[in-house]
Amino acid sequence: MRATLVDRRNHHLFSALLYQVATAQLSPANIAAPIRHITRDQKNLTVLLGDVSRIHLDRRTIVLADGAELDYDYLIVAAGATDSYFGHDEWRPLAPGLKSLEDALTIRRRLLLAFEQAERESDPAARRDLLTFIVVGGGPTGVELAGAIGEIAHHTLARDFDHIDSRDATIVLLEGLPRILPMFDEKLAIRAVKDLERLGVTVRTGSRVTAIDAEGVNIGADRISARTVFWAAGVAASPVTRTLGDDVALDRSGRVTVERELCVPGYPEVFVVGAAATIMTPSGIPLPGVAPVAIQTGRWAAENIGRRLRGEAYVPFRYHDRGSMATIGRNRAIADIRGVRFGGFLAWLAWAGVHIFNLIGFRNRFLVAAQWLFHYVTYYRSARLITGERDEGDRG
């Protein structure tokens, strides 16, 4: 048996910590590992850096952007998710999301530039708009991003400017639903709101964004002036998964609703896993697009192929729910581990342990742990760099 891994990136990304790159706490290399290095001991695996532009289910072929074609006997599609702007793709440059290292560095640049430009702004209204940060979306990513921005404004930068007090920054977390963190128990969500407020974040629920422009955000008839807006509100399947739509039905977000064995209806040799798939539980509720689901479905699909190769039958996927966690700032988190719900410092320790453990590479684990320790003691953020070309969307 030979396997080929095609990825348009040369690195595996631990996206659960992307918000820490975006908020200057970690460097990109701390949360990414070269795919070739991870897989170098797997002798029957070929790694290709390539952008898959098309999957032909009937011809059992994938086509790369440079025209190369690869045939397959079995295919696992693990193409993940991209940001969805709910039909408003014009918001993308105005409110970048957080799905790649490039996204994280764009957010970092805009965040740090906004404080720098506020320092140089003499008009009080303009200065206030420069010091207003809006995060759209109250899921774990939005909560973690808003909390980290609050910590930067209230601690990291607190002594660094002459003309502004970074603690005057307004940080608003907008959520369209009646409450944030809907996947968590309501009591934990309330605790998260309190933790966010302690970091200077205003949480506005039931607030659906209806327009974004260069000067702010509309919520129906309401308006918030702000120069910096980040997007953590919606996800959709990535473009390559959507190309499956010619052959199989996709849901509203472009995901493939897979069989319980994780294969595609009518194409038992093709599996879709992780955030590219809608995976129904026996109770009829789809699994969330989170890392544990991606890891477990990926492994299960590979095991099902192994079963078939040994002449056995596919086995329906069973999800092993190990719980959910979200972190708010430097030493607060909420955790729900099989019904055991807790928050505060203990939850943060649990969160830190799980995330360190799941990083790939002893080296990254060591460096991330060392940097968290430094940060914990000093609030210092190592990666406070404004780098990269300023783009058209930079308004800070």
Catalytically active residues, by annotation:
144
Q: What angle do CA 384, 229, 119 make, to 5 degrees?
A: 50
Q: Is 34 in the site for a second copy (CB under 8 A)?
A: yes
For residue 8, the minimal CB distance to a second copy (Å) is: 10
Read off the amino acid at residue 26. Answer: L
C-alpha angle 66/70/73, rounded to 5°?
160
Among 63, 72, 119, 354, binds a second copy (CB under 8 A): 119
Name the segment binding a second copy (CB under 8 A); options: 69-77, 83-91, 293-301, 379-387: 379-387
Q: What angle do CA 28, 233, 235 make, to 5 degrees?
A: 75
Q: Is 36 in the site for a second copy (CB under 8 A)?
A: yes
Residue 339: CB atoms within 10 Å:
7
* Token pair belonging to 107: 């957010």
Select from 56, 374, 393, 394 the one that contacts a second copy (CB under 8 A): 374
**CB-nearer residue toward a second copy: 32 or 258:** 32
Among 55, 98, 112, 226, binds a second copy (CB under 8 A): 112
Q: Is 349 among the residues that bind a second copy (CB under 8 A)?
A: no
Helices (H), 9-122: 18-22, 35-38, 101-120
Q: DSSP state, 88?
A: -
Of the candidates 346, 372, 343, 378, the one whose C-alpha atom is nearest the C-alpha of residue 359 is: 372
Q: Which is nearer to a second copy, 63 or 280 (CB)?
A: 63
The smaller minimum CB distance to a second copy, of residues 288 and 393, is found at 393
Which of 5, 29, 63, 290 forms a contact with a second copy (CB under 8 A)? 29
Site mask for a second copy (CB under 8 A), range 144-173, x = bound: -------------x-xxxx-----------
Rounded to whole angstroms, the Cα distance separating 187 from 172 reads 21
- Tokens read off for 177: 């639903």
Best CA proximity match to 81, nearest among 163, 144, 139, 35: 139
Return the closest-CA partner of residue 229 out of 84, 97, 345: 97
Q: Within positions 4 to 23, which residues make up the interface with a second copy, using CB under 8 A?
A: 9-11
Among 28, 286, 292, 344, binds a second copy (CB under 8 A): 28
**Residue 387 lies near a second copy (rule: CB under 8 A):** yes
Q: State the burial class of residue 16 (Cβ atoms within 10 Å of its Cβ: 0-12, 13-18, 19+).
A: buried
Residue ranges binding a second copy (CB under 8 A): 9-11, 27-30, 32, 34, 36-37, 40, 46-50, 68, 101-102, 105, 112-113, 116-117, 119-120, 157, 159-162, 363-364, 366-367, 370-371, 374, 380, 382-389
